[in-house]
A and B are shown apart, each in its own frame.
Chain A
Amino acid sequence: MVTTDIVAKGLIAMYTIYAIIAMLIIAWFGYMVTKDANKKTFIPKSLFYSFFVILIIIGITLHLFTMHTLPWVKNEIKIKKPDIQQIIKIEVDSCNYYIIDKNNKRLPLDSVKPIKLKINEPVLFDVYSNDLTYGFGLFRKNHTLVFQMQVLPLYHNEIVWVFNEKGNFDLRSTEYAGPKCIGMHTIDFITIE
């Protein structure tokens, strides 16, 4: 089961290894380039072309790999959205989030939280801002990020997410919307059962 947390921690390991190798290669190069070589080694053009091809392959396969392995990407690029039973409508106004209920009534988040949702079933979050550009991010209790999106004003910002882990999740605005909007943070916004 691939979660965003596993991917993030995997990236820490992979990137750290890459950074150490890259720095060691340049350090080795810096040492060697000052040495008086007995035999001059010239780099053939073929090495350049090989490196060229390798970079192209890395650039393309990175994206193809994530498109096929990260479960949330499939929901993102699917032209036909899955049949969604769980829809959460949210409005943002003057630095506050509100839930829109079935009667289109605006309710403060604190009055409805935690919203209960089912595991392994898609949820549509439809977030609409009346004024500024905000962010919408869900976080685990240990502060790690589940997912986030930008909330553009006067647009329906929609994301489909399938939760594959149980627990309570906090909501934070992931975008700065001015000094009055600091601290848009709702603890235990949803519960996945």
Chain B
Amino acid sequence: MNKKNLFSLIIYGLGEDKQWNNLTANQKLTLRFIIVGIIYYAFAFFEGLLMRIYLANPNLLSFFIDDKHYYAILTAHPLVGIFGGTYSFVLGAFYFVLPFLMKKPLWNIKLAFTSFWLNTIGVFIFWLSGFLSHYSPLYTLYWPLPADFTQFEPIGGIFFILGIALCMVGAIFFVIIVFKTITYTPNGWSKQPSSELLSSALGITALVNIFRKKEKQLVEPVPIGVAAIARGSVDMFLNALVITFTGVLILIYMIAYLFGTNLKHSWIDALLYKNWFWWGLDLIADGLVLIFVAGTWYILVQLITGAKNIFMEKWARALLFVELVVSWFVWSHHLLSDQAQPMFLKLISGQFITAIELVTQGLALFITLVTLWHHRPLKLTPELKFLLGGLTGFALGVAAGIIQADIGMNRILHNTQWIVGPHVHVAILVGLMMTLYAVVYKLFPILTNNISLYSKFLINVHFWLQLFGGVGMGAFMGMAGLLGMLRRTIYHNNEFGVFMWLAAIAGIALFVGFLSFFLNIVLSVGIKGIINVFKKADYTDIKLLPENNI
């Protein structure tokens, strides 16, 4: 086999048969999630690129996209990115990291594989239903748009909701596995102190200790990474419940309509619904993402430096707990421009509690940097570079978020390109994704039994284009937003053409960066490697890694 030949690399990759044949079920699980996550990110990137070009000049793509189609893409794009890409990466990585940190196997690997299929199939179903039916109420689902059958076919909506529901069931399975893995006792092991482990993971032990005269600690606290996974999972569970309940509500209207009954929209109060839905939806952006990301920074820092403890670890644990509690009270910053929303909710929840996130995330960033600093000199590995990129993204994105979560500023920022540019896309593309890529670059040789990545050059191309493409796109979108460009409006008279073209060029750079990552993975694992990952896994194999994996 000539490995220098591009064709043979695409087919066989750099791996040997023994490396693929030795994969444990847990390795296969995580690799499947990552492969599917990459494919769905490719979807989201391509959709994003189409939208960027369409916004720059709608006529350019008019031969296959019209305005209606644009809004269907706008509906699918964030959901494919979040559930298809990010959830796949996060679930896959945590399914591997959790047993590694807890030093015991996953509670139920079969259920974990089920959650993989639920999420993967669920995303495909809602994407396909949007693609075929152009169901486009956007991810915000503002009442009563998702049940407006003068604009949408209910059958498309039913499949859309069912797809989302499958993802939510998958997420709930993940949460169950997380807590059971932390607390259960594997066969043949001595009894684990379940309630104390749970209490430690959720931060209750530390909280109770504040009020005790003498600190009580029956067991070693769970590793800080586990604490982050557990606390973020609480928000994931609550979020899944809210989205599922909302989906059922919409489904009732759709099914009734199909049976010839048009239920009144006024039965649902639009303000109450908006508060309810944003409360749940925001548990992703302002809850589990921030908690999972901070936890991932801490895990990465420990893996990069070899440090057992991070700087100010007790504080770091407390901050994860604070972030969890804060995430339940910040939803109202999404309703600062809703005049019917009570003023005290705007002021307290929307402004001041939201501002605490500047503190929690700012300190998480500080702790990460100081821990790295204390272990210098460090080698500038791909995972360190991408971690620093991720920190940069959150330094920019969180600051933008705090500015818009202000009653005065929101009046001129709400629903403009500022929201989706410097805040959403910089936080996701630079902050979140670069953190996730750091994890992938760190775990890749471990998960593949020591297969190296094909090219360091491609890693560097990926890094610089992801960083500057993401920041650049966010910056030009932000400038357009501050000059009045709305986020959900198509401008046909070239009002913001210059900024949109600059954002599109940055978006193209981002896409090329992603392709370099994609190519590097494909040339490293090959199609044969991917097939091996999807070969039947042995569920009785409870080892995290094979014996010969270093």
Contacts and interface: CB of A to CB of B under 8 A. Distances in A.
Interface of A: 4, 7-9, 11-12, 15-16, 18-19, 22-23, 26, 29-30, 32-37, 41-43, 45, 48, 51-52, 55-56, 58-60, 62-63, 66-67, 70, 72-73, 76-77, 131-133, 135, 137, 139-140, 142-145, 147-150, 152-159, 172, 174-180, 182
A48 B315 contact: yes
Given A35-B376, A70-B408, A172-B486, A153 B355 contact: no
Interface of B, helix, strand, loop or mixed by DSSP: helix
Interface of B: 67-68, 71, 134, 136-138, 142-145, 148, 150-152, 265-266, 269-271, 274, 311-312, 315, 335, 337-340, 343, 347, 351-352, 355-356, 358-359, 362-363, 366-367, 369-370, 372-374, 376-380, 384-385, 388, 391-392, 395-396, 399-400, 402-403, 406-409, 411-412, 414-416, 422, 471, 475, 478-479, 482-486, 488-490, 495-496
A43 B311 contact: yes
Given A33-B376, A133-B142, 16 more contacts: A23-B471, A30-B385, A32-B376, A45-B312, A59-B402, A63-B406, A66-B407, A70-B408, A131-B144, A133-B145, A148-B412, A157-B338, A158-B339, A174-B414, A176-B138, A178-B136
Given A152-B340, A159-B339, A174-B486, A37 B376 contact: yes
A37 B374 CA distance: 11
Given A19-B471, A32-B376, A36-B377, A174 B266 contact: no
11 contacts: A4-B412, A11-B403, A12-B482, A23-B392, A33-B372, A35-B377, A55-B362, A66-B407, A73-B407, A132-B145, A172-B489
B355 A62 contact: yes
A86 B242 CA distance: 42
A90 B338 CA distance: 16
Given A43-B311, A43-B370, A178-B137, A147 B411 contact: yes
B374 A174 contact: no
A120 to B, nearest CB: 18
A179 B71 contact: yes
B385 to A, nearest CB: 7
A179 B68 contact: yes
Contacts of A132: 142, 144-145, 148
